[in-house]
Each structure stands twice: as structure tokens, then as C-alpha cells.
């Protein structure tokens, strides 16, 4: 089937939010005298919602006094400080340009809320590039459930089999495949060691090739 739409994950794919969020949590684990939070543990949280109870992990492992409200306030300030340094990941703008030139519809499918995704897209001046944001909400489960991808395709008026998903995590790849989309995995530093074998193609970066070349390869 001819590809009619490209559906992008957001966190870690469009913008590296994963690194700042992970770093801020790691610093809180250290501040409370906990053993380091590992990538293997963090993998349960990547690309999904509520995969890991991080507060409970700190609470049970802390060797220093734990004030949850103060911890969250400090962590969010640190996270946001790190996020301001991030720009769109390599190749993202070029792939969006390719999609526009090819007449392909564009959407976001994210396990984050629209209240998280949209302001970041606005800051990057990319919000207008996407016809719809299919995000975690009431009635739309986070990945690995297929809900966000099915919602994105429905909003675009495109059959899932005619859409291409771009993902960075095992949960995201599982969601895309469960929804019936072709899927390209583009891991970042945190997810590059995780199992992305269910994807139809793996790239080291979107800057590695062009959307046109990928579509030619699939065809």
C-alpha cells in the first residue's frame, strides 16, 4: 500500500526530552542517597505512561530524609533548565520538509499529554507542521497500546496500513505495529541498547537518510 501519512512520536524523537527527564530523576536519586537509577529500570518508563513508580523507588531506597513535594519542585526546575538547551533532533526538519513536498499528512502520536507536547512544538516552531496531535488522554491509552496511532490515523483520514510511524522506544514500536503501521526505529542515547527488533527499519538518526529514500526502499 502507498504511504499517505507519517506519524511521529514526540519525546526522544522530535525533541530529546528523555535525556533531561532522566538526568533530573538520576540527580534526585543521588540526592537522597539511593543507588543510581539504571537504564534497564528506566526502560519501563520510556515511551509509555506510568510504567515505573519512581517516587516509590526513591521512598524505599532513600537513606536521607525524603520530602516528595520539594523533590518534585526541584526536579522540575532542573528538567526544564536542561530542556531549554535542546533543539529539534537531527534530520527532523528535513523529514518534515520531505513529507510536505511529497504531499504526505503529518501527525504526532505520543504517550505524553497534549499539555506537554504542544508547548514544546510551539517553542521549536513546529506545531503548524502537524495536522493533529494524538496524545495520551481520557479514552486514549499510552503506548504500547495502539490507541495514539489509531487516533492519529483516524484524525488524518488515513488507514493505518497507509501510514508510517517513526519511533525511538520498544513501547512505541509495539504500539505502532499493534495499530498496523509500518515503523522505523530511530533510537537515541538512552534507547539505543534496547530491543527495537520489531521495527521494519532501524536508523541511527533521521539525518542518516531522507524520507524519500526510505519510502523508495520500502516500495
Residue 93, domain CATH: 3.40.50.1000
CB environment 127-140: b (16+ within 10 A), e (fewer) = eebbebbbbbeeeb
Residues 6+ apart with CB under 8 A from 109: 7, 8, 9, 134, 135, 143, 148, 149, 151, 152, 165, 175, 176
pLDDT at 1: 65
What residues in the chain have per-residue pLDDT under 70? Answer: 1
> What cell numbers appear for 112 in the block?
505524553
Do 150 and 136 share a structural domain?
A: yes
pLDDT at 127: 98
Do 170 and 132 share a structural domain?
A: yes
Q: Please report the sign of the dihedral spanned by the C-alpha atoms of residue 149, residue 152, residue 158, residue 162.
A: negative
Q: How many residues are listed for the chain in this entry?
A: 219
Do 27 and 92 share a structural domain?
A: no
**pTM across the whole model:** 0.93
Residues serving a catalytic function are 9, 11
Q: What is the DSSP letter of 46?
A: T
Domain hosting residue 51, numbered range: 18-83
pLDDT at 49: 83
Structural domains counted in the chain: 2
d(CA 120, CA 10): 10
As beta bridge partners, residue 168 has none
Residue at which a domain ends, from 60, 83, 106: 83
- Beta strands, E only, 11-159: 105-110, 132-135
Amino acid at each position: 500500500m502507498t504511504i499517505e501519512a507519517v506519524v511521529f512520536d514526540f519525546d526522544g524523537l522530535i525533541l530529546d526530552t528523555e535525556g533531561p527527564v532522566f538526568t533530573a530523576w538520576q540527580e534526585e536519586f543521588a540526592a537522597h542517597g539511593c543507588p543510581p537509577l539504571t537504564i534497564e529500570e528506566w526502560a519501563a518508563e520510556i515511551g509509555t505512561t506510568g510504567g515505573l513508580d519512581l517516587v516509590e523507588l526513591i521512598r524505599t531506597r532513600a537513606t536521607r530524609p525524603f520530602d516528595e513535594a520539594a523533590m518534585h519542585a526541584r526536579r522540575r526546575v532542573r528538567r526544564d533548565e536542561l530542556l531549554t538547551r535542546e533543539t529539534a533532533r537531527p534530520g527532523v526538519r528535513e523529514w518534515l520538509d520531505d513529507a510536505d513536498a511529497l504531499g504526505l499528512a503529518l501527525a504526532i502520536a505520543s504517550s505524553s499529554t497534549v499539555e506537554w507536547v504542544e508547548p514544546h512544538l510551539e517553542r521549536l516552531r513546529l506545531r503548524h507542521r502537524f495536522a493533529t496531535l494524538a496524545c495520551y488522554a481520557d479514552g486514549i491509552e499510552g503506548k504500547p497500546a495502539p490507541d495514539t496511532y489509531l487516533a492519529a490515523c483516524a484524525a488524518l483520514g488515513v488507514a493505518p496500513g497507509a501510514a508510517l510511524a517513526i519511533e525511538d522506544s520498544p513501547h512505541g514500536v509495539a504500539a505502532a505495529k499493534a495499530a498496523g503501521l509500518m515503523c522505523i526505529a530511530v533510537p537515541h542515547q538512552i534507547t539505543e541498547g534496547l530491543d527495537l527488533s520489531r521495527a521494519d527499519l532501524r536508523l541511527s538518526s533521521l539525518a542518516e537518510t531522507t524520507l524519500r529514500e526510505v519510502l523508495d526502499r520500502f516500495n
